[in-house]
Amino acid sequence: MTTSPPARSNLPLADGGAAVFPCTMLQRQLWAQSQSGRPHGLNVAMRWLVKGRLPHDVAQKALQSLVRRHECLRTAFREVDGVLRQIVLADCALKLRGIDLSALDADTARSRADEIAQGEALELMDPSAAPLLRATLLRLDSESSILLLTFHSLIADGWSIGLLVSEFHAAARAIESGTTPDLAPPDLQLADYALWEQEMLESGALDEDRRYWQRKLKGLSGTVIPGDRQPAERIGNHSEIYSILLPKSVGDAIDTFTGRHNLTLYGLAVAALGLLVHRVTGQAKIVFGSQVADRLEPTAEKLAGPTVNSITLVLPIDRHASLLTFALMAADEVREAVEHQQLPFAVVAQDVSFDATRPLHAINLVVQRSYSEVVDSGGGFSLATLPSYPAGLQWDINFYLVWRDEGWRMSCEADCDLYDEATAKSLLAAWRDTLEALVSAPERRVADLEALREGVRSIEAPAAPGRAGLQDGPREPIPLHQPARQVVRFNEHGTSTPLIVLNNRSVYYQLARALGENRPLTDIQTYHPDGPLDLSGYSFDDFATYAVRLIRWAQPNGPYVLGGHCIYGALAFEAARQLKRMGEEVSLVALFDTWAPGYRESMSPSQQRRRARQIRHRGYWNRIQQYRRGEITLKQLLWHPILRRLGGAVPEEKPTEYAFFEGRWFDEAIRTAAATHRPQPLDVDAVIFRSEEPLRGRLFDERMGWGSIVAGRLYKADIASAHFDMFQEGPADEIAAFVNPLLTAIESRRDA
């Protein structure tokens, strides 16, 4: 949190002295679901194995102390004057249900305990009656029990339950020792959090997050894994969880891989699930939901109450990319979403209309270390988490990757109205295979993923990489560190399709002005701000992948209009190719004085010599003009060319700091990569803006070599400027006068 919670003064009181508070956006969303025809999936049902002696009365008193300390445990929900409110009671009794199973044999007792736990998980709660918590202690024998705690999602999430269980253990120990447990209220209560959220939304502090999600989710629909059947009505109260425990060798390999490539396990799990869903559906863009704790501020870490928020992850699939490249792109997606996690998803849902027949989060992913592992601080008993039973499902299918004492457990919870057991188990096995393939064969292509299924079971940690990246594999993709330093936005509030242009420095201000306020322009400075880097050995396609990551950072979804000056126009063209392979729409590519790579090299040797001679003559004429304008000396005009022809040393000007910061080292690297690049035809529309500087004639194609490469419409506009002056005020006006009607016509065809 960036501000302190608002004061509680002057808040109304309900009958009996209960305080009335606003609800969070999440609570309003959960309330609406509880009042709908699908109220299931709102319980958070947890269970713990109690090892040691825990008397029933001690557990009862410990739980009651938690109720006194935390307002969320004595909160009900009711509509007051048509508005949902939290009703915080001054006091509230919680009864611990006790069931003694010790007279049964061990197997029967366990079986009966499982039946009770399943029933507790599914039984609905009335949100208008506090406490929204059920507690049951199942006595197995004199030294072991099972503690069941079932919370309504309106008052708790997994994180806060972990906090409460730790406090429960400490309170029980205090009671056993004859002391009073801590009853002091925490610094932050759930009502404070709701007031803070309301203030944040009203103050505009989350407007940037709001714009991010509006851009990201515009026109999206969720990916759906086809079910084995499609019932006319789904209640959502019947789901099953299937699990796989990853061997330690797999966990070690994952840790090695994520550490080497600066990835998180969350990002890797997202990549693996995206690839799995692509394999199942064949779709080129995968969209699913996930949850984050949304406890960025230290004060929120100790809050008992639901702060969990849903985020949307969008993964375009390029089947030509390596698995490692895809994993890094998925990591970019996760980082961006997590950075904008504070805006409640309920606000996003209000802002963006979704296809009701294809929910945005039909597929969901949860990755976490268990919030409640073994709790044992020296008392007479310890608590160890047990796998939960399903409480109903809010999504079609939910994938979990959860750390427990025995290791990482992968699980798949599927709606039984939609999916057979065999389908859910096969999806789970394929998800594991895909995760293992990512860390065992990251150099393989996405398209080769099916072939990786054999042999991934016996996995070893990958060998340490050499200087060039993965041993016996491709180099690491060009790193993406701080894209915010490389992206400059103009006309941000325009509603037309943005123009995204690539360059090594920001030169597009006048073009943005000429295009007008309704045409957003995003200027991506491609050179790496942490450079210079050693980029030798990277292909032009590698640079295009790097550009695509920057483009998707700036604009997560199409339609795209791309452009670039000189060699960066060719880079924009290859970025368009990769985006189209991902299923994105690319409306137009603008090539500003860009020769097609390989155009000169495709000529005969004699043609190349004649072409080079004409360029030298033009160059000499240009130097004469520079001399006449006083820009170079007579010695530079006459003697430097002679020394070069004779093979003598020509003094070079010392590079300036300006030259370094303009990223000329990046220019050199990308030009080296372009020298061997030969673009293949691509079905995309393009426009060539040609300055007066390139020569004309038989060896200087009017379409600059793009005629056989652009398979869509190819337009050309001549601009009255020199090569490096194309974006000055006058030429920029000419470009805008040509491109604005062209883009308007493209948008009209798309909307028709």
Say if residues 126 and 96 touch (Cβ distance below 8 Å).
no
Is 172 in a helix, a strand, or coil? helix
pTM: 0.81
Q: Which of 344, 324, 393 is nearest to 40 (CA)?
A: 393
Element (H, E) at 97: strand 96-100
State the pLDDT at residue 561: 97
Element (H, E) at 555: none
Is the pLDDT score of 559 beyond 60? yes
Is the pLDDT score of 698 beyond 90? no
Residue 257: pLDDT band (50, 70, 90) is: very high
Mean pLDDT, the chain, whole residue set:
84
- Rounded to a whole number, what is the distance in angstroms from the first to the last CA of the chain? 45
**267-323 pLDDT, tens digit each:** 999 999 999 999 999 999 999 999 998 887 777 888 999 999 999 999 999 999 999
Overall size of the chain counted in residues: 752
Is the pLDDT score of 739 beyond 60? yes
State the pLDDT at residue 370: 57
**363-391 pLDDT, tens digit each:** 999 998 755 455 554 568 888 888 888 88
Say if residues 358 and 324 touch (Cβ distance below 8 Å).
no
**196-233 pLDDT, tens digit each:** 999 989 998 999 999 889 888 888 889 999 999 888 77
Residue 617: pLDDT band (50, 70, 90) is: low
CA distance 8 to 13: 11
CA distance 40 to 391: 7
Is 316 in a helix, a strand, or coil? strand
State the pLDDT at residue 67: 96
Residue 308 buriedness (CB in 10 A; 0-12 / 13-18 / 19+): buried
Tokens of 202: 């009203």
The one-letter amino acid code at 402 reads V
Say if residues 342 and 224 touch (Cβ distance below 8 Å).
no
Angle (deg, nearest 10), helices 323-339 and 421-440 = 110
Per residue in 699-729, is it b (16+ CB within 10 Å) or e — as a string? bbbebbbbeebbeeebbbeebebeeebbbee
φ and ψ of 79, to 5 deg: -85, 125
Tokens of 639: 């003697």
**639-660 pLDDT, tens digit each:** 555 545 555 544 444 443 334 4
φ and ψ of 301, to 5 deg: -65, -25
Average pLDDT, stretch 147-172?
A: 93
Say if residues 305 and 160 touch (Cβ distance below 8 Å).
yes
Q: Which residues contact 657 (CB under 8 A, 6 or more apart)?
A: none
State the pLDDT at residue 243: 93
CA distance 431 to 250: 14
State the pLDDT at residue 300: 80
Is the pLDDT score of 463 beyond 50? no
**506-547 pLDDT, tens digit each:** 678 899 999 999 999 999 988 877 778 888 889 999 999 999
Say if residues 385 and 48 touch (Cβ distance below 8 Å).
yes
Element (H, E) at 323: helix 323-339
Average pLDDT, stretch 101-123?
A: 94
Percent of the chain having pLDDT more than 70?
Answer: 82
State the pLDDT at residue 729: 92
State the pLDDT at residue 293: 87
Q: Which of 475, 486, 467, 573 is nearest to 531 (CA)?
A: 486
Is the pLDDT score of 697 beyond 50? yes
Percent of the chain having pLDDT more than 90?
Answer: 55
Q: What is the DSSP string of 705-749?
A: T-TTTB-S-EEEEE-SS-GGGTTSHHHHHHHHHHHHHHHHHHHHH
Q: What is the DSSP letter of 372?
A: -
State the pLDDT at residue 329: 92
Is 690 in a helix, a strand, or coil? strand
Is the pLDDT score of 266 beyond 80? yes
> Can you give the C-alpha Rg of the chain in angstroms?
31
Average pLDDT, stretch 570-594?
A: 95
Q: Which of 667, 634, 242 is nearest to 414 (CA)?
A: 242
Tokens of 606: 């004699």
Query: Which position has the higher pLDDT, 99 or 630?
Result: 99
Q: What angle do CA 100, 106, 111 make, to 5 degrees?
A: 75
Is the pLDDT score of 187 beyond 90? no
Is 87 in a helix, a strand, or coil? strand
Provide the CB-side half-sphere exposure for 637 (13 A, CA). Answer: 14
Q: Which of 433, 455, 450 is nearest to 425 (CA)?
A: 433
Cα of 218 vs its chain's centroid, Å: 16
Strands (E), 159-297: 239-245, 285-292
Cα of 621 vs its chain's centroid, Å: 53
Is 446 in a helix, a strand, or coil? helix
Residue with the two structure tokens 């969720």:
222
Q: Which residues contact 143 (CB under 8 A, 6 or more apart)?
A: 51, 52, 53
**121-159 pLDDT, tens digit each:** 999 999 999 999 999 999 999 899 999 999 999 999 988
State the pLDDT at residue 656: 38
CA distance 383 to 626: 82
CA distance 528 to 513: 26
Peptide bond into 559 cis (omega under 30): yes
Beta-ladder partners of 404: 407
Cα of 502 vs its chain's centroid, Å: 23
Say if residues 367 and 266 touch (Cβ distance below 8 Å).
yes
Is 128 in a helix, a strand, or coil? coil
State the pLDDT at residue 465: 38
Average pLDDT, stretch 91-106?
A: 95
State the pLDDT at residue 424: 94
Q: What angle do CA 188, 189, 190 make, to 5 degrees?
A: 130
